[in-house]
Amino acid sequence: MLAAIATTAVAHGQTKSDSPPPPDGSKKLPIVAPKPPPALPATGGAPVVTEVPGAPEPRVLWDKFIDACGGKDSMRGGGSRRTKGTILVPAVGMKGSIETFAKAPNRMLVKTTMGDFGTMEQCFDGTNAWAIDAMSGPRLLEGQELESFKRDALYEGPFGYLDQARSAKTLGKATFADKECWVVELKETVGGDLTCYLDASEGFLRGMRMIADTQMGPMPVEMQVVEYGTFGSTRIPSKLLTRVMMQEFTSTTDEVTWEEIPDATFEPPPP
C-alpha cells in the first residue's frame, strides 16, 4: 500500500491526458501507450550510508519490523480490510480523501477524490490492473506500472516486501528522518528495486526510496513514515510524507476495519 500512495500522488499531479475518451461514451479500457519520460529532477540526495562490519542480515531486520507492528497475524484479520483517510497537497492547499479495499491474497481497490480532479480508481483483481479517472479516462496498466501495483496489492503490504525480492542486502547505517536506520536494498522485487530504512532502535520501517513507473514515465520517489497508528492489534504506517518530483504529498489513515468485502468490488467496469 505504501507505494500505491506514491503512484496515486503522481497521478493526481499529472496534466490531462491527450488520449480522447471512447467516442461512444463507454467505459472501455484502452491500452494507452505511456508518454516518453521527461527529464526529471531527483527527490534530493540519498542519505549517506556508512558500512557496518557484521551488520544484521535483512531477514533479521525485517522480522524485527514485523514484530514491532504486532506480527503478521495482526495484519491479516479475516482476510479483508478497508481503510479510510485523507491526502493533502500543501503547496496548493488541496485536500482529498482516500479509501482502500484489500482482500487476501492480492486484490486491492484504491479510490482517491481530490477536489477538481474528481475521483480516481486504481484496481488489481489478482490478474489485471486498471485505472479510471476523469482526466485521462479508463486504461489498463501494463509493464512496470502493472508490476508495481501487483506489489502494492499483496494483502500483507510491506511485511512481504522482503519475500518478493530476488536479492536483499544490508548496506549499512544512515540517518533518515532524524532516525538512525539500517539501510536494506531489495533488488528486483515485483515492481522494481527498493531502498528501505529500518529504525536501528525500534525496528519500524521509517521510509523508502524507489523509482515509480507512471503514465508519465519513471519518477524518483521518497516516502517517509511520519507516524505509526494502532488499529486493532496491529500498528501500521498511518501518516506518510511522499516526495515526487518537486511536490510533497501527505496521506493519513484515520480508520481501519476488517470487514468482508464482496468479490464484485474488484471487478472491472463493463465494456
Judge if pTM exceeds 0.85.
no
44 secondary structure, DSSP code: S
CA dist., res. 84 & res. 81, Å (int) = 10
The residues spanned by each domain of the chain are: 2-14+49-254
Whole-number pLDDT of residue 69: 95
- The domain over range 2-14+49-254 is classified in CATH as 3.30.70.270: no
Q: What's the pLDDT at 245?
A: 76
Residues 6+ apart with CB under 8 A from 183: 47, 49, 170, 171, 172, 173, 174, 176, 195, 196, 197
Q: pLDDT 10s digit of each residue in the chain, 271 long?
A: 554 554 555 554 443 333 344 444 444 444 343 333 333 334 457 899 999 999 999 999 999 999 999 998 887 778 999 999 999 988 878 899 999 999 999 999 999 998 877 899 999 999 999 999 877 788 898 887 888 888 889 898 899 899 989 999 999 999 999 999 999 999 977 668 999 999 999 999 999 998 876 667 778 899 999 999 999 889 999 999 999 877 899 999 999 999 899 999 999 877 6
Whether residue 6 contacts residue 247, with contact meaning beta carbons closer than 8 Å, is answered with no
